[in-house]
Amino acid sequence: MSFRISSMEEYREVYRKSVEQPEAFWAEIAGSFLWKKKWDRVLDWNFKEPDIRWFSGGTLNITENCLDRHLETRADQPAIIWEPNDPEEHHRVLTYRQLHQKVCLFANVLKNNGAKKGDRICIYMPMVPELAIAVLACARIGAVHSVVFGGFSAQSIADRIQDAQCELVITADGGFRGNKEVPLKNVIDDALVQCPSVRRVIVLTRNRTPVSMIKGRDVWWEDEIKKAETLGMLDCPAEEMDAEDMLFILYTSGSTGKPKGVVHTCGGYMVYTGYTFKTVFQYEPGDVHFCTADIGWITGHSYIVYGPLSQGATTLIFEGVPTWPDAGRFWDVVDKFKVNVLYTAPTAIRSLMQSGLEYVEGHDLSSLKVLGSVGEPINQEAWHWYHEHIGKKRCPVVDTWWQTETGGILISPIAGVTPAKPSYATLPLPGVQPVLVDEKGEEIEGNGVSGNLCIRFPWPGMLRTTYGDHERCRTNYFAAYDNLYFTGDGCLRDEDGYYRITGRVDDVINVSGHRIGTAEVENAINMHSDVIESAVVGFPHDIKGQGIYAFVISEQHLNDSDLTAKDIAMTVSRIIGPIARPDKIQFVPGLPKTRSGKIMRRILRKIAEGDLVNLGDTSTLLDPSVVDEIRNGRIA
């Protein structure tokens, strides 16, 4: 089976086959999954429209692959280990049998509340096992889940619910994050004022904070479960889905003000996440896999829920944060559950690195076999710290590059096989054909070159459309260069053919591994009544990777600029969520604009990053003197 790659020779061989005979390659991998009906055609595609179909004619249900098919072989093996926010609270373990039962029961709850195949369901929950259960229950009945990260604001949730016309919302009373509580149901109530499509809200009890339950709309998770149990609705047949039926929508930021609903479909996403999970991490039966992402992001969808479960793995869900009660929390968890694979983000590594080695010492990390990194470029220093102090130089580090749109990992070392190079995502996985192009769209061949990263050929996990707006999908990803998928990332390919992702080349900022559009932040800032205009850029940040720097023209700051800045930051927090709160707000008399009125962000980026000398050509500016004033007022 091509799942096992144990040497570089084997990798080269499998890679060659995957490029020469992609259909045969993917058909063999797809054959290791459970289909209700086999596909007629492996792949139909064109990147023009785009129209991409994998495994057409095939039918399946991803939850049968994640649950039912394991019952014969590993019913009593842990599927989910859950570690709560508070180390004093008891952890929970759900075996495959128990998870199967809970998913079926909750799937019946969804049906009892009127949900059916094709309906969109918004999930806004804390990191508890019930979040994974809710996701899988949607997939069980063929409803389309749209998980919204618990840190997003009411306005952001409302935008996403309206865009997808969700009929149901699944949430909790509240959640815990470190020493804070988050009022999830309250936020949902605020969001739903703008969402007439929602007719039912199912509320899980988590922190027992008082909430308001609206008659006829809101019901308790626990009551609904009891009802279904009383009715004996324990079984729930898995809905038969076409390979290209929608599995989920996940919103992600782009260069415009409005997040896009990235659409993934059942068959290809299942095959791709299962294959890459097994291949990249070299997962072996019985291993405990700990991905620290939130299920609200693609990393959680693919490498906490679907990838691991489709492969019969034990996946660890951690509700808390890396630094509470102290910076040893991850290492407590690794030690407590003898974690074998740890998959986290550079921002977490840098923050723990800064806290000092005393938090690592005293924990037994000898169970670790593989370390993973995802979400943003990992700097050499963080890479070495991770490798040396966490992996004790025994564990391969896999720097995995991918995107919400790609569904799964595209460029990454294969653990224990690919020789690593710190800060390099290294080589494409089998089936992935990267291309570097220049500004004109000409392919840049050979090694020791850099350009914009594109992909030449489809892979099963790629996005199919952006919800409700296919044209937007085309213009965003398939129109920049003919017959190529454009990633939005800059990239270099070194003398060995190794890839190193250098960061976004569009107006997207990557803050702690979270994508935020500059236009989104500007829109939020501009909502503040004192603001006339704003421009937002990213700047290098020691912990977060990138921070948010806002240049703001305002009328009121002259009275008290500190207060005005705080108000503006608060507005952004309210409109988008705390993750988008600017780190620096500088009041400026004007913005550097061309004669045609375009803001020259290049100049602002230079100033934000502290390069006040090499601002480049400013001769096309309408008013070059504004640059000096901005430069003089820079916030260090």
What string marks each residue from 493 to 512 as x (binds ligand 7RM by CB under 6 A) or -?
--------x-xx-----x--
Tell me which of 312, 320, 328, 377 binds ligand 7RM, using CB under 6 A. 377
Integer Cα distance of 405 and 566 in angstroms: 34
Q: How far is the CB of 406 from ligand 7RM (least distance, A)?
A: 8
What string marks each residue from 235 to 264 as x (binds ligand 7RM by CB under 6 A) or -?
-----------------x------------
Q: How far is the CB of 531 from ligand 7RM (least distance, A)?
A: 28
Residue nearer to ligand 7RM on the CB measure, 233 or 519: 519
Q: Who's near 419: CB < 8 A, 6+ residues apart?
A: 8, 413
Q: Which residue has the tokens 């793995």?
A: 313
Sole window of 87-95, 396-404, 435-443, 476-484 interacting with ligand 7RM (rule: CB under 6 A): 396-404
Residue nearer to ligand 7RM on the CB measure, 103 or 462: 462
Residue nearer to ligand 7RM on the CB measure, 328 or 545: 545
Residue nearer to ligand 7RM on the CB measure, 315 or 586: 315
Rg of the chain on CA atoms, in Å:
24
Does residue 322 interact with ligand 7RM by CB under 6 A?
Answer: no
Sole window of 10-18, 96-104, 362-370, 394-402 interacting with ligand 7RM (rule: CB under 6 A): 394-402
- The SS3 of residue 147 is strand
Number of residues that bind ligand 7RM (CB under 6 A): 24
Report the amino acid identity of residue 224: E
* Dihedral class, residue 173 (left if φ above 0, else alpha if ψ from -120 to 50, else beta): alpha
What single string gives the DSSP state of each residue in 390-419? Answer: ISTTTS-EEEEB--GGGSS--B-PPTTTSP
Residue nearer to ligand 7RM on the CB measure, 165 or 502: 502
- The helix (run of H) or strand (run of E) holding residue 196 is none
Q: Which residue has the tokens 């059916």?
A: 116
Shortest CA distance to 561 belongs to which of 531, 599, 537, 536? 531
Integer Cα distance of 62 and 144 in angstroms: 12
Sole window of 132-140, 485-493, 563-571, 594-602 interacting with ligand 7RM (rule: CB under 6 A): 485-493
Q: How far is the CB of 192 from ligand 7RM (least distance, A)?
A: 26
Tell me which of 119, 159, 224, 399 binds ligand 7RM, using CB under 6 A. 399
Integer Cα distance of 328 and 68 in angstroms: 37
**In this structure, what are the phi and psi dihedrals at residue 95, rounded to the nearest 5 degrees?**
-75, 170
What single string gives the DSSP state of each residue in 478-538? Answer: ISSSTT-EEEEEEEEE-TTS-EEEEEESSSEEEETTEEEEHHHHHHHHHTSTTEEEEEEEE
Integer Cα distance of 584 and 578 in angstroms: 14
Does residue 350 interact with ligand 7RM by CB under 6 A?
Answer: no
Does residue 434 interact with ligand 7RM by CB under 6 A?
Answer: no
Residue nearer to ligand 7RM on the CB measure, 401 or 587: 401
Does residue 376 interact with ligand 7RM by CB under 6 A?
Answer: yes
Residue nearer to ligand 7RM on the CB measure, 96 or 385: 385
Sole window of 234-242, 375-383, 526-534, 551-559 interacting with ligand 7RM (rule: CB under 6 A): 375-383
Shortest CA distance to 289 belongs to which of 337, 242, 255? 337
Sole window of 93-101, 307-315, 481-489, 534-542 interacting with ligand 7RM (rule: CB under 6 A): 481-489
Residue nearer to ligand 7RM on the CB measure, 493 or 504: 504
Does residue 172 interact with ligand 7RM by CB under 6 A?
Answer: no
Sole window of 27-35, 142-150, 397-405, 622-630 interacting with ligand 7RM (rule: CB under 6 A): 397-405
Does residue 382 interact with ligand 7RM by CB under 6 A?
Answer: no
Integer Cα distance of 433 and 416 in angstroms: 22
Question: 496 vs 23, 256, 372, 420, CA distance in Å?
Answer: 28, 36, 22, 12
Q: How far is the CB of 479 from ligand 7RM (least distance, A)?
A: 18
Does residue 426 interact with ligand 7RM by CB under 6 A?
Answer: no
Integer Cα distance of 29 and 164 in angstroms: 32
Shortest CA distance to 102 belongs to which of 248, 221, 267, 200? 221
Integer Cα distance of 268 and 151 in angstroms: 29
**In this structure, what are the phi and psi dihedrals at residue 285, rounded to the nearest 5 degrees?**
-50, 135
Residue nearer to ligand 7RM on the CB measure, 50 or 545: 545
Residue nearer to ligand 7RM on the CB measure, 515 or 574: 515
Q: Who's near 337: CB < 8 A, 6+ residues apart?
A: 81, 83, 91, 288, 290, 316
Does residue 546 interact with ligand 7RM by CB under 6 A?
Answer: no
The CA-based dihedral angle spanning residues 441, 444, 449, 454, taken in that order and rounded to the nearest 10 degrees: 60
Q: How far is the CB of 513 from ligand 7RM (least distance, A)?
A: 6
Residue nearer to ligand 7RM on the CB measure, 325 or 503: 503
Residue nearer to ligand 7RM on the CB measure, 63 or 156: 156
Residue nearer to ligand 7RM on the CB measure, 453 or 626: 453
Q: How far is the CB of 402 from ligand 7RM (least distance, A)?
A: 5
What string marks each residue from 27 to 66 as x (binds ligand 7RM by CB under 6 A) or -?
----------------------------------------
Question: 607 vs 283, 507, 549, 550, 551, CA distance in Å?
Answer: 45, 16, 10, 11, 11
Residue nearer to ligand 7RM on the CB measure, 189 or 489: 489
Cβ–Cβ < 8 Å for 476, 260: yes
Report the amino acid identity of residue 53: R
Shortest CA distance to 293 belongs to which of 319, 263, 254, 267? 319
Does residue 400 interact with ligand 7RM by CB under 6 A?
Answer: yes
Q: How far is the CB of 399 from ligand 7RM (least distance, A)?
A: 5
Does residue 292 interact with ligand 7RM by CB under 6 A?
Answer: no
Does residue 294 interact with ligand 7RM by CB under 6 A?
Answer: no
Sole window of 34-42, 369-377, 516-524, 620-628 interacting with ligand 7RM (rule: CB under 6 A): 369-377
Does residue 269 interact with ligand 7RM by CB under 6 A?
Answer: no
**In this structure, what are the phi and psi dihedrals at residue 9, rounded to the nearest 5 degrees?**
-60, -45
Tell me which of 85, 265, 404, 476 binds ligand 7RM, using CB under 6 A. 404
Cβ–Cβ < 8 Å for 271, 54: yes
By CB under 6 A, name the binding residues for ligand 7RM: 252, 297-299, 374-377, 399-404, 425, 487-489, 501, 503-504, 510, 513, 515
